[in-house]
Structures are given as structure tokens and as C-alpha cells.
Amino acid sequence: MLRLIYTALLYVAAPLAFAVLLWRGMRDPLYRDRRGERFGFSRTKLDASIWVHAVSVGEVQAAAALIRDLQRRFPQSPLIVTTATPTGAQRVRALFPQGVHHAYLPYDLPGAVRRFLERIRPRIAVILETEVWPNLYRECGRRQIPIVLASARLSEKSVRRFRRIAGLFRDALNQGLVIGAQTRSDADRFIVVGAAPARTHVTGNIKFDLETPVEARARGEALRTGQFPGRFVWVAGSTHEGEEDVILEAHRGLLAARADSLLILVPRHPNRFERVRQWLSGQQVTFACRSRGEAVTPDTQILLADTLGELLMLYAAADVAFVGGSLVPIGGHNLLEPAALARPILTGPQNFNAPDIARLMLESGAALQVESAPGLAQALADLAANPGKRSQMGQVALAMLESNRGALARVMALVEETLHRRAQ
């Protein structure tokens, strides 16, 4: 009965979701692409594929090492990556221009799910973090397609929510699902909501196995040397609406203490690039747009990075990294990206997307938490005046990353074991 109610509600919600997609497509061309895939009409037709689902940009970046390892170990199996967002799709194409297919994950409607699975015919599904779709999981179970949840996490708040509809999710969690949880606490919470203990493992977080391309470091150093040598540079990465005002106020405070400071502002979503550019135009600051090829001069106060796929390179070009989505209730973005480049990290208080990573970085001294524009300006001024502290924080951040690597190998072991069982 619960499943019938859930599915009926989805049939009501799906047209509304599609209407939102159409509306967003009027403002952002990325949302006009391949809309039929939302209902399972994938253009890609495969057989015995390996399917990885990573919802958006951050998850795609985290899954990059896993995808490359799957390519190496299973060269005969076509590999398809699904995302929910166009920016995730763009990141897949940028990281894997050849050899990896992409499709949008369909809505969790029985017909859409069946069409999707019929087209890609996966041997196994590897799903990043906690994307639990009851109809999709049920259909995978019916077709005997095993699912591995990689870097799975479940908060106490989610446990309470899952308990209200326990029957629906318990059924989903027991469709041959193998769980690779980030922590022991996450594993225990999955078991509480109905996951099979024998198929619930602690593998760690594959985000720690982040690959940092050598060319990203080299390009960052070349950018800095070529356009702003000798300046104090900080990046505000993956920022959201409501954060740029705080960041600009902080930068103005920093300029009062150190006039040669440069802010590299990197909005999270491409559909906001033009709005942020127009907003900067009215703020009485000198800025350059990276998408327009505008050079940074000694008078430039802000570089607007209105481009995709360059965040790691820009972190490499900077002295300090502020990671966005943390001054507003978004939940914070990936603190490990600047850590991989040995950069000191600043973050706001809203880090509920990855609280364990935030806690690790803050408690170790690799990161500092700021809560306001004056606090951010003060932290930046202190770090600008103290290169030794910047270096120490960056090295601690890198050490924390290195000491927590290994989840990728454990997830791959689960994938291989699951495929071996399926073949028997």
C-alpha cells in the first residue's frame, strides 16, 4: 500500500518537476538537453554495462578515480554515468571525453525506470552516497541487478524521516543492496532502517581518494606567475546566492589591510554567472571575467571565474581557499579539493553535507571556521600576514587527506565480490 501511495504521488509530482525543467530551460540552455531521458528514453543502448550514478558536480568529481578504476578493471564492459543535473553532465564530459557514456537518471516512475534499465542493461549499479529510489531499486532487484552504495551516509535526521515510511525504504534497502558506508555510525544507521547487516560494510569516503591532475597544479602556477605574481590571492569557490555579498564585504575589509589582495570568485552554478557579473558591475570594484579572456592587471581586485571545470586549477593558483555553500544553508562543498593542493581552508558554519570531513579539518587545524564578513576579513588578513601559518595549515590539510585514503580500494573490492557472486 505504501508503495502505491508513493508511486501515485510521484505521478502527480512528475509533471510539475518536468514543468520546472522546462521553465529552467527558458533561462538556461543546459536544461533543454535530452529531456526525454527524465522519463527513461535514453538515447544510449548498451549491454552488460557498468553503471555509476553521481548526482551532480561534486559527486562526479569524487567518483572520478572510481570510474577510471572501473575502466581499467573491466575494459570489456561499457561504462555509463548518470547524473541528475546538467552541470554534472558537463563534468562527466570534461573528465571523460571518450569511453564513458552519460545519461540523466529518470524520475522514479515504474515505466521510466523499466525503459531506462532496458536500454542500458547494467551488470551492476554503483551509486554514490545516499540516493535511494524505491521503484528503481525494486526493479533492479526484479532483474537481479546488484547495487553497491559507495561512500554511503545517513544522518540521524534521515533515520527519523526513514522510520516514518520504514516499510517503503526497508523494501528498497533489501533488494540485493550492498552498502559501503562512510563510517561505523553510518553503517549502524542503515541497519536501523532495515539494511541487511551482512551486506553493510564500513569502507570510508572515496572523496579522500581524490585525484589531483598534475596539469591542474601546473596551470594554476602558470596563471599566477603570468598574471598576478607576488599578490596575496584567495579563492571563494562554489559560492551561492547570499554568499557573494558577504565575500565582497570581507574582501573590501582585506583590501584595507593589504591593498594588493586578489579575490578569485567562483560561483557554483553556471546559470548564475551572468547575474554575478552584472552584480559586480554595480559594486564599484575593478574585476575581470575569465570567460572573456580578460587579463588580471595590478589594479584588478576580483577575477570572476565564470567558467566550468577550473576550480582545482584556481585553488592551485591561490594562497587560501574559502569553500562556499557554507555561509548559507546549502551544507558546504568539498573541503578536500583545496586540501589535496595543500591550501589552508576557510569555511562557514553550514557543513552538514559532510560533517565528519569538516570536523576533521577544523579539529586538526587545517581549516578555520568563519561566520561573518568581518570574521572572514580578519582570518584572511591574519593568513596574508603569516606565510608560515598558511604553509602549516596546508600541510596538515594534505596529511589529513593522505591518512584517510583507501576507501576506493575497499569499494572496488565490494564491486568485484558482488559481480563474482552474481556470476555464480
SS (H, E, C) 244-282: HHHHHHHHHHHHHHCCCCEEEEEECCHHHHHHHHHHHHC
Sign of CA dihedral 137, 119, 81, 111: negative
Indicate whether 271 pLDDT > 90. no
Indicate whether 355 pLDDT > 70. yes
Query: What was the pLDDT predicted at 219?
Result: 95
Which pTM does this prediction carry?
Answer: 0.83
Q: Compute the distance between CA of residue 99 and CA of residue 80 in angstroms, rounded to an integer.
A: 9
- 214-403 has the same fold as 2-204+406-423: yes
Percentage, residues of the chain above pLDDT 70: 100
Q: How confident is the model at residue 424 (pLDDT cuts 50, 70, 90)?
A: low
Percentage, residues of the chain above pLDDT 90: 70
Sign of CA dihedral 20, 21, 24, 26: negative
Largest separation between any pair of C-alpha atoms in the chain:
69
Using an 8 Å Cβ cutoff, are 286 and 299 in contact? yes
For 60-198, strand residue ranges (E) read: 79-83, 100-104, 122-128, 147-152, 177-181
- DSSP letter for 294, please: P
Which amino acid, residue 197?
P
Which cell is 305 given?
571565474
Query: What was the pLDDT predicted at 240?
Result: 96
**54-58, 74-78, 198-202, 253-257: the lowest-pLDDT one:** 54-58
Half-sphere exposure of 150 (CA within 13 A, CB side): 34
Kindly report the backbone phi and psi dihedral angles of residue 241, in degrees, each rounded to the nearest multiple of 5, phi listed first.
-60, 135
Domain 214-403: CATH superfamily is Glycogen Phosphorylase B; (3.40.50.2000)
- Digit-coded pLDDT (tens) for 192-249: 888 889 999 999 999 999 888 888 999 999 999 999 999 999 999 999 999 999 999 9
Q: How confident is the model at residue 363 (pLDDT cuts 50, 70, 90)?
A: very high
Q: Smallest Cα–Cα separation from 355: which of 154, 179, 161?
A: 154
- DSSP letter for 405, please: -
Q: How confident is the model at residue 164 (pLDDT cuts 50, 70, 90)?
A: confident
3-class secondary structure, 61: helix
Q: For 372-396, what is the mean pLDDT?
A: 97
The full set of domain ranges for the chain reads 2-204+406-423, 214-403
Indicate whether 3 pLDDT > 70. yes
Using an 8 Å Cβ cutoff, are 133 and 112 in contact? no
Which cell is 384 given?
596574508
Q: For 330-359, what is the mean pLDDT?
A: 94
Active site residues: 59
Half-sphere exposure of 73 (CA within 13 A, CB side): 13
C-alpha dihedral, 138 to 139 to 140 to 142, nearest 10°: 90
2-204+406-423: CATH topology: Rossmann fold (3.40.50)
Cβ-Cβ contacts under 8 Å for 97 (sequence gap 6 or more): none
- Digit-coded pLDDT (tens) for 66-121: 999 999 999 999 999 999 988 889 889 988 988 899 999 999 999 999 999 999 99
Which cell is 183 given?
563510517
Average pLDDT of every residue of the chain:
92
